[in-house]
Amino acid sequence: MSSVTAGLHDLLGDRVVTDPSVAAGYGADAYPQAATLTGEEFTVVRARSREDVVTTLRYAAEHRVPVVPQGARTATTGAACALPGGIVLSTELMRTVEIDSVERIAVVGPGVVNTDLKAAAAEHGLAYPPDPASSAMCSIGGNVATNAGGLCCVKYGVTADYVRGLEVVLPGGDVVRTGRRTAKGVAGYDLTGLFVGSEGTLGVVTEAVLRMVPLGDPALTVLAVFPTLATTMAGVAALREQRHTPSLVELLDGPSVDAISAYGDYGFPTGSGGVLLVQSDRAGHALEDVHAYAAALTAAGATEVAVAEDRAEADLLLEGRRVLNPALKARGPRFIEDVCVPVARLGELVEQVHAVADRHGLEATCSGHAGDGNLHPCFFYDDADPASVAAAEQAFDDLVRAAWALGGTVTGEHGVGQQKVPWLAEELGEAEVARQRTVKALFDPLGIMNPGRGIA
Amino acid sequence: MSSVTAGLHDLLGDRVVTDPSVAAGYGADAYPQAATLTGEEFTVVRARSREDVVTTLRYAAEHRVPVVPQGARTATTGAACALPGGIVLSTELMRTVEIDSVERIAVVGPGVVNTDLKAAAAEHGLAYPPDPASSAMCSIGGNVATNAGGLCCVKYGVTADYVRGLEVVLPGGDVVRTGRRTAKGVAGYDLTGLFVGSEGTLGVVTEAVLRMVPLGDPALTVLAVFPTLATTMAGVAALREQRHTPSLVELLDGPSVDAISAYGDYGFPTGSGGVLLVQSDRAGHALEDVHAYAAALTAAGATEVAVAEDRAEADLLLEGRRVLNPALKARGPRFIEDVCVPVARLGELVEQVHAVADRHGLEATCSGHAGDGNLHPCFFYDDADPASVAAAEQAFDDLVRAAWALGGTVTGEHGVGQQKVPWLAEELGEAEVARQRTVKALFDPLGIMNPGRGIA
């Protein structure tokens, strides 16, 4: 047992994992390029309360030990991977949920799973909209740490749009409350937005006050099949002309659909050029909307349009979309992009994905949240072949530059993590990185919060 | 001409006001207790560009001169009042508006008047929802500086919910860009939320990227008249049970209605205990909604319920609500509250307003955004009678404490300004004020940005 594990065990008892084989399970998130650490190389604390977090961060500051806050390990960027010699501070067991249906807020612990909060809200006729593809697994703490987006953003926005206030433990153990519980409140600076999306580099969220909205109708779904990726993008453009914004506009190119079908039978077609999944949950009008979307998609060139008029059928299609990440993982090693461009430039970005892949002789998939201009292309490589790895690295970089040229960003919703640190510096520029480092230093003067990730 | 006026005139020419009688018009905002300064006591710069702002803030830093950023002077808190020996940096002439209807964003200068932006958005079938009562006069720069709320927040939220990114000039002249233009983006810390609501204490906003939404239907209005304030609050509670959230729920007690009627004929009744104005703008369903609201309000005890089914009639009633502030100003000297409590506690807060007024032998009005729990009670006093002034000051303090006891805040949307600095310190507590001062010092190390306002 390392001195850190022993020291924390003295303070926290069974909150500290002492079995290396159990600890090993906390070593990495869903970053495909994550390093593999043994359970002896780091210390895992499974906090059950704010006090456990305070104790851990106080110890970490006293002993200058780096801390990686960790939720459900669904990040694709390495933001939540253990650091050798460091502490993994897991909040997965902090799962309290308190719903106030009059104020339409939920006060939750960071370990609450996204879909569990949705279910609790629905019992009160309310919805918590933010909806990452990993919603059945990912936790609110991680959602806040990355400002998670997902599938509903085209209509409902991102996590930041729902965080009214936070309780955060800073390195050293000070507890800060940000924001408010009331519908309005402007007393002092609101630090909430600074912590949302900060990827564990400033402190550890121990409670979130989340705004909720009235529950919409159960979403109905259109599945539109296109002969080519170009016609698929014409379908996306046609949806932007609709007065009633869909609650979901998901793009899957042919290879993405094939990967899902290889993973399981979710009702997707084979051999298409591209597929759009489009939903409406508008109260009293979902059916009317999906039929309007279906007509627009047909006019845009869809060769097959199916309207899932009941929830079971709609859920199955969405389930298929949600398994895309494991389905692509099963296909082989890959780099996962998260570029986001202005929606008007999305067609050009999609063209670039396959142009870049062709240029480097790689296979690629292109999928994402077409309503937001946010794509998750993947470049596949052979990890036994250094030339193939290098080609995929170059393709990743090429596509980031293509996104920048279109007015976009290296990361729409996944965050920077370990993966995108070099691109972050280039995107922000030297002066802004320097300024952001001074912001980090204000909260984390010792530089022990998730070092090397995000603003590094 | 002061040395500051002369020095800035050398750099900025006709951007600097050299006529003291013109300068005097920039001395105060709408704070009833504002000090009166002559036009010789401060310097006014009317910036036309970011470069003018940079030049001014560079000069201010070099010469250690305090700067008051100023929009349309509609603040009720003294946040935008000139400081003796200081610079008023007005952005009222920076009125560029660029609408991108595909991305649904507006890129605007800080001087753009709120209703002008609304009109420009409507030409593209879009809406910019944030809607302070002073929307016909107030500017976006001021809306951002105070995180302005207003009349639509019950359905649409506050200014912060629509600010996607900012360009801010920091003291010394550095230019920062925060946030993003794309629908999603998480590259680095998002400082946007820190500047929104910072009341000119960190820098000067020179451009805002604002999110817009599809235009709703023209709002229809219900006017409900109640015999007592208690039954009026029963009406507010009944509206919370509606599935479709009203786009506006405004409360006016009897004395507020009387003040409006004394100011002009806007179709309000006389001698009521309280009035609610309730709107719906739900696409295709506004008429159905207002009739549902009317039925609910009748059941709650309204003695008269009128549905304004056409826009002209609805607009007249809203116009009446919007003149409330000048109507109350015409009534005499007053302290303006801006307390906000959880919506479930609003009835208790309303009871406190008149209990506090009675206890101090004062007249009071009680009005506000009932859907948000945000009230603007006024305590009137005789400024020739020191005992009356002292009683009103005590009443103001009593009501803030009542709001705190109900889980509320001293300021829902007006901001701290000069007026609420002592209460801010008490609400946040010493540790948080100290932390927020370090945040201010990061951006304004010389302490020259709007000193004495907000985090002072």
Report the CATH number that the domain containing residue A66 is assigned in CATH.
3.30.43.10
Average pLDDT over residues A147-160: 95
Interface of A with B in 430-449 (CB under 8 A): 431-433, 435-436, 438-440, 442
Q: Do B102 and B210 share a domain, yes or no? A: yes
B432 neighbourhood in chain A, CB within 8 Å: 176-177, 188
Q: Do B231 and B283 share a domain, yes or no? A: yes
Q: Is the pLDDT of residue A270 over 90?
A: no
Determine the Cα–Cα distance for residues A231 and A350; give it in Å rounded to an integer.
12
Tell me the pairing of strands B367-369 and B374-375.
Answer: antiparallel
Share of chain A above pLDDT 90, in %: 93
Q: Do B401 and B366 share a domain, yes or no? A: yes
Decide which of A60 and A312 is more confident.
A60
Average pLDDT over residues A175-191: 96
Q: B251 to each of A120, B225, B248, B373, B374, how far by Cα in Å? A: 32, 10, 10, 10, 10
pLDDT of residue A85: 98
Determine the Cα–Cα distance for residues B104 and B360; give it in Å rounded to an integer.
51
**Where are the strands (E) in A153-282, listed by range?**
163-169, 175-179, 204-211, 213-214, 220-226, 248-253, 274-280
pLDDT of residue A456: 77
Radius of gyration for the alpha carbons in chain B, expressed in angstroms and rounded: 22
Are B221 and B279 within 8 A, CB to CB? yes
State the complex-level ipTM: 0.95
Per the structure, the count of domains in chain B is 4
DSSP-derived 3-state class of residue B422? helix
Q: How far is A11 from chain B (nearest CA, A)?
A: 26
What would the two tokens of residue B26 be?
């920039």
- The backbone torsions φ and ψ at residue B62, rounded to the nearest 5 degrees and listed phi first, read -60, -35
A89 torsion bin: left (phi>0), alpha (psi -120 to 50), beta (else): beta
Which amino acid, A131?
D
Determine the Cα–Cα distance for residues B265 and B262; give it in Å rounded to an integer.
8
Q: Which burial class, exposed, middle or buried, applies to B452 when counting CB atoms under 10 A from its CB (0-12, 13-18, 19+)?
A: middle
Range of the domain at A37: 3-90
Interchain CB contacts (distance < 8 Å): A and B: 210
Nearest to A157 by CA among B180, B176, B177, B115: B180
Nearest to B106 by CA among B208, B214, B215, B179: B208
Q: Do B238 and B318 share a domain, yes or no? A: yes
Average pLDDT over residues A361-386: 97
pLDDT of residue B318: 87
B386 touches chain A (CB under 8 A): no
DSSP-derived 3-state class of residue A146? helix
Largest distance between two CA atoms of chain B:
68
Question: Model confidence over A388-443: pLDDT tens digits?
Answer: 999 999 999 999 999 999 999 999 999 999 999 999 999 999 999 999 999 999 99
pLDDT of residue A368: 96
pLDDT of residue A257: 95
Residues of chain B with pLDDT under 50: none
Q: What's the CATH number where A189 sits?
A: 3.30.465.10
Q: Is residue B412 part of a domain?
A: no
Q: Is residue A435 part of a domain?
A: no
Q: Do B14 and B78 share a domain, yes or no? A: yes
Q: What's the CATH number where A351 sits?
A: 3.30.70
Among B90, B120, B147, the domain-final residue is B90
pLDDT of residue B50: 98
Q: Do B250 and B189 share a domain, yes or no? A: no
Q: Is residue A432 part of a domain?
A: no
Q: Which residues of B263-283 are buried (b: 16+ CB within 10 A; e: fewer)?
A: beebebeeebbbbbbbbbbbe
CB atoms within 10 A of CB A22: 12
A285 touches chain B (CB under 8 A): yes
Nearest CB to A186: which of B102, B197, B373?
B197
Q: Is residue B177 part of a domain?
A: yes
A154 touches chain B (CB under 8 A): yes
Nearest to A211 by CA among A301, A140, A275, A307: A140
Q: Do A105 and A186 share a domain, yes or no? A: yes
pLDDT of residue B333: 97
Q: Do B153 and B186 share a domain, yes or no? A: yes
Chain B residue with Cα closest to A240: B102
Nearest to A182 by CA among B154, B395, B419, B191: B154
Q: Can you name the residues that pair with B367 across neighbouring β-strands?
A: B252
Band (A310; pLDDT cuts 50, 70, 90) = confident
Q: Do A186 and B283 touch (CB under 8 A)?
A: no
What would the two tokens of residue A270 be?
């084979």
Q: Is the pLDDT of residue A256 over 80?
A: yes
